[in-house]
Structure 1
Amino acid sequence: MMTSEGPGWKRMVVLLVLVVVYLCVGAAIFSHIEGDPEIERRLQLEAFLRNFIGYGNLAPKTYPGKVALVVYALIGIPITLIMLNYLGQLLTRLSTRVNKCKLCSTKPLVNKLLNMVLIVTLGLTILFILPASVFSYVEDWTVLEALYYCFVTLSTIGFGDYIAAISENRIGHRGTGDLYRIVTYIWILFGLAYLSLLINYISNVFIKKAEEMERLTKEKLEAEISRLQQELAKTGKSVCKTAANVKSSVKGKMWEAPSGNNNGIDQESGSVTLLRIAQLEET
């Protein structure tokens, strides 16, 4: 029964229960109709997210496969590092030959700088710019995405948010796609060797600069210490010379005690003066 103050509590409770029951019935109906497809889509999304980020898209799933991977990696990683070391040595020899080019024979410093710019430019062009152009076309990436992939891969950061030669791309023929993957793996090997060579060169430059600063600082400190020692030696000689002059000027002089009638000094103070002069002459 409606009153001027609004509906009563009993009707309010009945309406609330009715709404809750209605919502529960609707939830049961839609859950029965859409429940299984929703679970399937959720599982697909979870699987997609697991396979989307990182190089773990080809990771073993079984325990025997994981154990075999550990054993295989313990043998393969040292072999790969040895091979990369040899590649780095070959690239070092090549860079040494390029560094001997005399693009500017009149100024050795300018010639060395030009040779280094040539080495860096060739390396960046062959291992970054050209591969990024190929990846941009084949993988349908932007140029910035391709350059980002090149740096992340060759620097061994390896986020895996971009992976070449594994997803659907514009190379549809199987043989061409396999060749594309092989070339990509070879590019990664040479790129790792080149980037490690570049990083080692930059590290050596910093180390040499630090050693040069240490050497200069040591030389300055040694020079300052030598100067201070010379100054101390000069000061010591000057002090000794002054003391010798004082001694020679005092030695042999006769001092008489002033009389009690002279300047108001008594005999006792005069004896003290003579005693001090005698001690000075003995030293």
Structure 2
Amino acid sequence: MSRRCRRRFSRFLWSVFPHLSLVSCLLLYSLAGAPLFQWLEGSAEAGQSQAEELLGKLWNVSRSGGDWTFLSSLFFCCTVITTVGYGNLTPITVPGRVACMIYAAVGIPLMLLVLADLGGILAGFLSKTFEYFLESWHRRVQRQSNTPPKFATFPRGPHKSSTQSTLDSRLSVREPLNLTEVLKSQATVKRRYMQMRNIDIFELIVMKENRNELPYKCPFKKCHSCPDLDIKPTSDSVIFNFDNLGEEVDRLDVPVLLIVLIVVAYIMLGAVILPLWEDWDTLEAFYFCFVTLTTIGFGDVFPAHPNYFLLLSLYTVVGMAIICMAFKLMQNRMVGLYKQCIICVSRGNVQMTPAKSQS
């Protein structure tokens, strides 16, 4: 591996490190809460009578001792920190309820932080992908419009021999031109100037992209030779980006139809996969995915196979990040539409100004 490849790989690792740290903290926090609730609630569930257990199953709020396994406890932690709360599995002991409140007080802000981070990453990826295809389409249209026409020679006046035409072409520069020929030559020069100008602009864009892709030089030599020079290490840029966590979504301009298609496609993915092990049809699975990802969580439909709770938890976290991104983008569009409606209804008497950021 060359030095340039190692430098790029190192920069990639350091740029991904803060995001992986957040996800790892959330994962470790969930894994730590699962055995805690299993230990607090599992022992208390064994003392329930069979009649109460049967009655709980009939009302779809079963509290049997087998519910608090490790995977079901992990899924319970996921429903707590994502604020879904199906209600099919709840703590009944005093220590369990106190632990649930403390666990939620720490886990919900951590979950919101992870959702903002993942939403920013997905929003940036969606925006760059959309801009790439849009620029490719514009570049193709511009290339077709800037294609130089094939030149054709048309005889002016009586036909001349090849020798005479060659002599005329050589002597045409020294002969005086009339007004029509001057205008034609000016139009040709202007067209060629516009073509050369487009080429220069394209070359400047390529040079700018190449300059952005160049690796950063190591700042240690300059820091030692010139200590007063304010040069920040490369890792500071990653930490600085963390201060603007989740603000990438505010700068996006993605069509609403594309956002809706992505959300519907992700929910349909869950609606197709879940019936493979759950006793649901496609509509019921779609309803469950929508209620879960929007954190409504009625509790009328919930999964019954604990072996797939880990996969479902992962699907829920990623899906909530996508929903968070979609809601933010839709909110920006709705605010813009609301401003236009207010200005239109008031006939310009109400001026909508952007809110000032508080320092």
Structure-1-length-normalised TM-score: 0.51
- Does structure 1 residue 142 correspond to structure 2 residue 281? yes
- In structure 2, the CA distance between the partners of 1:50 and 1:68, relative to structure 1 (3 Å rule), is same
C-alpha contact (below 8 Å) 1:55/1:159 kept by paired residues: yes
Q: Which residue of 2 aligns with 1:262?
A: none
User: 1:69 is matched with which residue?
Assistant: 100
Q: Deviations over 1:10-36 (max 9, x none)?
A: xxxxxxxxxxxxxxxxxxxxxxxxxxx
Letter of the aligned partner of 2:299 in structure 1? G
Identify the match of residue 260 of structure 2 among 103, 120, 143: 120
Q: Which residue of 2 aligns with 1:181?
A: 309
Q: Secondary structure of 2:302's match?
A: coil
Bigger radius of gyration: 1
Q: How many angstroms apart in 2 are the aligned matches of 1:148 and 1:88?
A: 23
| Count of paired positions | 167
Find the aligned partners of 2:108 and 2:91 in 1 and give their Cα distance: 18
Q: CA RMSD in A?
A: 3.2
Task: Report the alpha carbon displacement of residue 115 of structure 1 after superposing the two structures with TM.
Answer: 5.8
Q: Which amino acid aligns with 1:120?
A: V
Cα–Cα, structure 1 residues 220 and 113, in superposed 2: closer, same or farther, change >3 Å?
A: closer
Decide which of 93, 99, 110 is 1:79's aligned counterpart.
110
Equivalent residues of 2:293, 2:316 under 8 A apart: yes
How far apart are residue 116 of structure 1 and its match? 4.9
The whole-number CA distance in structure 2 between the counterparts of 1:213 and 1:122 is: 28
Per-residue CA deviations over 1:48-91 (Å, capped at 9, x if unaligned) read 11516972333111111111111111111111111111111111
CA–CA distance in 1 between the matches of 2:279 and 2:99? 35
Give unmatched runs, 5+ long, in structure 2: 1-48, 64-84, 143-251, 351-359
Q: Which amino acid in the other structure matches residue 199 of structure 1?
A: F
Match of 1:193 in 2: 321
Q: CA deviation at 1:153?
A: 0.3
- In structure 2, relative to structure 1, the CA distance for the partners of 1:152 and 1:70 (3 Å cut) is same
Seen in structure 2, the aligned counterparts of structure 1 residues 104 and 215 have a Cα distance that, compared at 3 Å, is farther
Q: Which has the higher contact order (CA 8 A, sep 6+)?
A: 2
The letter of the residue matching 1:189 is: V
Please report how far the alpha carbon of residue 133 of structure 1 lies from its aligned counterpart in structure 2 after TM superposition. 0.7
Matches within 5 A, 1:207-218: 207-216=335-344
Partner Cα distance (1:159, 1:43) in 2 = 23
Distance in 1 (CA, whole Å) between partners of 2:254 and 2:320 is 24
Distance in 2, Cα, partners of 1:113 & 1:208: 12
CA distance in 2, matches of 1:82, 1:114: 23
User: Does the residue aligned with 1:162 lie in a helix, a strand or coil?
Assistant: coil
Q: In structure 2, what is the Cα distance between the partners aligned to 1:66 and 1:205?
A: 41
SS of the residue aligned with 1:89? Answer: helix
Q: Percent identity?
A: 29
- Please list every run of 5 or more consecutive structure 1 residues that lacks an aligned counterpart in the other structure: 1-39, 170-176, 223-283
Change in 2 beyond 3 A, CA 1:66/1:113: closer
CA distance in structure 2 between the partners assigned to 1:132 and 1:78 by the alignment: 29
